Structure 1
Amino acid sequence: MKYDPINSSLFINNRKNFMAQMKPNSIAVFNSNDIYPVSADSTLPFEQHRDIFYLSGVDQEESILVLFPECPKPQFREILFLRETNEHIAVWEGEKLTKEKAYTSSGIKTVFWLQDLEKIMFELMSYAETIYINTNEHYRANVETETREDRFTKWLREKYPAHSVAKSNPILQRLRSVKDSIELNLIQSACDITEKGFRRVLGFVKPGVWEYEIEAEYIHEFVRNRSKKFAYTPIIASGNNANVLHYIENNQQCKAGDLILMDVGAEYANYSSDMTRTIPVSGRFSDRQKEVYNAVNKVKNEATKMLVPGTIWADYHIEVGKIMTSELLGLGLLDKADVQNEDPNWPAYKKYFMHGTSHHMGLDTHDYGLLHEPMKANMVFTVEPGIYLPKEGFGIRLEDDVVVQENGNPFNLMRNIPIEADEIEGLMN
């Protein structure tokens, strides 16, 4: 791993919190992800399933975590199953976790090799009444591929049909959405790496550069600061490309007078950052571009103030819509008649700002969190309003990552990343 070791107290505490919410006499099982094939003998880079990482810190394929807090044998209350390592594997693939290193990372004392799984599970299931399976119930999920977790669940339910079944996901949705201080520091590290990439790009951009060259500048800076990759597919959208919300081709030349919308974030230790900045190719905003830019920035700042404990996500978006409507009226993009005659299900402002303002962020860029429940301290949200103007040839979005705090003053993890229009111009010139 490129990242520094994480204190195992995080994972010990996460398991403790999860097990406290399990039903009596129950077992929970969590699998690592597959290594997914591309073609021939090529594969995609391995990405650990965030749930097993959250609960164990194990960042390796073919790993299984079993939790059984009321097991009659105390040594079986937390178990890791790992792929057995040997000298041959170390030579061809690199060193894998030993039992000792797995304990150091996770705080789990009982570690078996995978070949012992069925034998140990047979004994554990004879003591248990309920089995927790781990299904993906994220509100944005659209998974067509059968995962390693799916295959294991299928085997488990066929092998032990008399056991009751419960779901891990509702517990994890609540636990993962509220961050530990160690997690907040890891997200801050990801944001700090993103800042370095952005400052590098400010000195690089000029008329004639290509979007993919800007993408390359970011990943160069990210990797040299111990990030392994972008947290998500980067958007480098110059000119009218910015009006395509998920533009990822990044293959056009940046022209003088245009703006570049950059939705980019580094990951660090599997934790995400999620930043959007919009900058002028020539180093100066036109008067109209700056007018729209400042309106978007104002909406972002006002929206951020509402991210406090007790806020309901849906109500928050209604209030943000009112602020955006006021700004669009001031820009002459809407008039009073547009607002008076608007469809309540698709307000007038949606013509220019059609996406949501905030989502949970953490181990996943669109992280776990139950949107119908009130916001809590130590949740992390993006704040990302935008105004999109195809007829004028540009779109502007600005985005920061913000921690909800108990005292009601949200903490901006991207406070050091330049955002004011005048500061952007100063740094580019």
Structure 2
Amino acid sequence: MKYHQIDSNLFIKNRKNFAAAMQPKSIAIFNSNDIYPISADSTMPFEQHRDIFYLSGVDQEESILMLFPDCPNSALREVLFLTETNEHIAVWEGEKLTKEAAFKTSGIKTVYWLQDLEKVLFEMSTYADTFYINTNEHYRANVATETREDRFTKWLLAKFPAHSVAKSNPILQRLRSVKDPIELDLMQQACNITEKGFRRILNFVKPDVWEYEIEAELLHEFVRNRSKGFAYTPIIASGNNANVLHYVENNQQCKNGDLILFDIAAEYANYKSDLSRTIPVSGRYSDRQKEVYNAVNHVKKEATKLLVPGTIWKEYHKEVGDLMTSELLKLGLLDKADVQNEDKNWPAYKKYFMHGTSHNIGLDTHDYGLLHEPMQANMVFTVEPGIYIPEEGFGIRLEDDVVIQQQGEPFNLMGNIPIEADEIEDLMNS
């Protein structure tokens, strides 16, 4: 891994918190992700399942974690199963985790090789009544591929049909949404790397540069700072491309007078950052562009103030909608009749600001979080209002990642990244 080793106390604490929420006489099981094939002998880069990483720190394929807090055999209360490394693997792929290295990473003392899985699981099952299975219940999930976790669950339930079944995901949704100080430090590092990339391109962007050239500059800066690269597929959208919300082609030339909307960010140690900025290709905003830019920035600042303990996500978005409506009226994009006659299920402001303002962020860009429950301190949310005007040939989105505080306004993990229009102009022309 490119990142520095994470303090194993994070994973020890995460397992303790998860175990405290489990039913008596139950086993929770978590699998690594697959390495997904492309064709022939090619594969996609491995990405660890965030749940097993959250609970163990193990960042390796073909790994399984089992938690059985009240097992009569104390050695089997936390168990890791790993692929046994050997000389052939070491030569061709690099050495996998040894049992000693796995303990150093995770704090788990009992580590078996995968070939012992069925034997050990059978012993554990004789003491247990319930299996916790790990299903994907994220509100945005739309998964067509059968995962390693899915296959294991099928096998498990066929092998042990007399055991009851419970779900891990509701526990993880609650635990993962509130960040530990170690996690916040890792997210801060991801944001700091993102800052370096953004500052780099402020000095790089000029008329006639290509979107993909900017993408290459960002990737260079991210990787040289111990990131695997982009936290998600980058959006580098010049001109009217910005009005396609998930524009990812990044294959157009940036023209003088256009704006470039960036939705780009680095990951670090599997933790994500999520940044949006909109800059002028020429280094100067037009009067109209700056007017709209400042309106978006105003909504962002006011929306950020609303992210405090006790806030309900849906109610927050209604308040932000009111803020945006006010700005769109000032900009002449809406009139009073538009607002008076709006469909309450699709308010008038949605014509120019059609997506949500905030989502949880952490190990996933759209991270776990129970959105019907009040917000808590140490939850991390994006704040990302935008105004998109196809008829004027540009769109503007601004986004930072903020940590809810017990008292006062959220702490902005991206507070050092330039955002004011005048500051961006000064940096681009310095």
Q: How does 1:70-85 map to 2 (within 5 A)?
A: 70-85=70-85
Q: Distance in 2 between matches of 1:130 and 1:110?
A: 21
Q: Distance in 2 between matches of 1:390 and 1:357?
A: 20
CA shift for structure 1 position 356: 0.2
CA displacement, residues 291-330 of structure 1 (integer Å, 9 cap, x when unaligned): 0000000000000000000000000000000000000011
- Paired position in structure 2 for 1:218: 218
- Paired position in structure 1 for 2:128: 128
Gaps of 5+ in 2: none
- Paired position in structure 2 for 1:162: 162
Count of paired positions: 429
Q: Secondary structure at the match of 1:118?
A: helix
Q: Is the 8 A contact 1:358 1:382 kept in 2?
A: yes
CA shift for structure 1 position 205: 0.1
- Paired position in structure 1 for 2:340: 340
Measured on the aligned residues, the alpha-carbon RMSD in Å equals 0.4
- Paired position in structure 2 for 1:33: 33
- Paired position in structure 1 for 2:325: 325
Matched, 1:145 2:142: no
- Paired position in structure 2 for 1:58: 58
Give the TM-score normalised by the residue count of structure 1. 1.00
Q: Distance in 2 between matches of 1:277 and 1:213?
A: 17
- Paired position in structure 1 for 2:203: 203
Q: How does 1:8-407 map to 2 (within 5 A)?
A: 8-407=8-407
CA shift for structure 1 position 408: 2.9
Give the TM-score normalised by the residue count of structure 2. 1.00
Q: After TM superposition, where is structure 1 displaced by more than 4 Å over at least 4 residues in a row? A: none
CA shift for structure 1 position 260: 0.0
Q: Is the 8 A contact 2:304 2:409 kept in 1?
A: no
Q: Distance in 2 between matches of 1:146 and 1:350?
A: 35
CA shift for structure 1 position 87: 1.1
CA displacement, residues 215-253 of structure 1 (integer Å, 9 cap, x when unaligned): 000000000000012000000000000000000000000
Letter in 1 for 2:91: V
Q: Secondary structure at the match of 1:263?
A: strand
Q: Distance in 2 between matches of 1:350 and 1:134?
A: 36
Letter in 2 for 1:162: A
CA shift for structure 1 position 188: 0.4
Q: Distance in 2 between matches of 1:42 and 1:118?
A: 30
Gaps of 5+ in 1: none
Letter in 2 for 1:42: S
Letter in 1 for 2:417: I
Q: Distance in 2 between matches of 1:39 and 1:236?
A: 29
Q: Is the 8 A contact 1:228 1:267 kept in 2?
A: yes
Letter in 2 for 1:121: L
Letter in 2 for 1:295: A
Q: Distance in 1 between matches of 2:370 and 2:245?
A: 24
Letter in 2 for 1:371: L
Q: Secondary structure at the match of 1:278?
A: strand
Q: Equivalent pairs: percent with the same residue?
A: 82
